[in-house]
Structure 1
């Protein structure tokens, strides 16, 4: 009889590994989807180190995604205490 492997949760991943995964996503995916995975992912998504460089270029009209330009800018600014680069257009 084989022993069963324990079931692992995404929430158990170390923050450093979650950050590495999230670096493969664009800013919109992080803002709209990744932070909804679980609490630990949301915590990493809100970490200012994730928002040192933000490139929103080539994302089309952000307002057409259901959020006003001001709301997008405020959302980005709240996450960006370590911001080094912001490209909106």
Structure 2
């Protein structure tokens, strides 16, 4: 990845999710990235490192529509308190 601009990275990541582009999805996470999910779901807890975040906590990505992506983007603000990924 050639950019570290947060907005560009996030948009590229969601485009990759929509397209099922595994390589770009993986490249979008830093090697030492962490992700925390609140709640009592099987994915709840802290996931550390790119491999664990991508391979351990997330189901295989499936193509989603641009409409779904925009809708998810709007609702992200309200759920940001429950889930933290960096």
More strand by share: 2
TM-score, scaled relative to structure 2? 0.32
TM-score, scaled relative to structure 1? 0.31
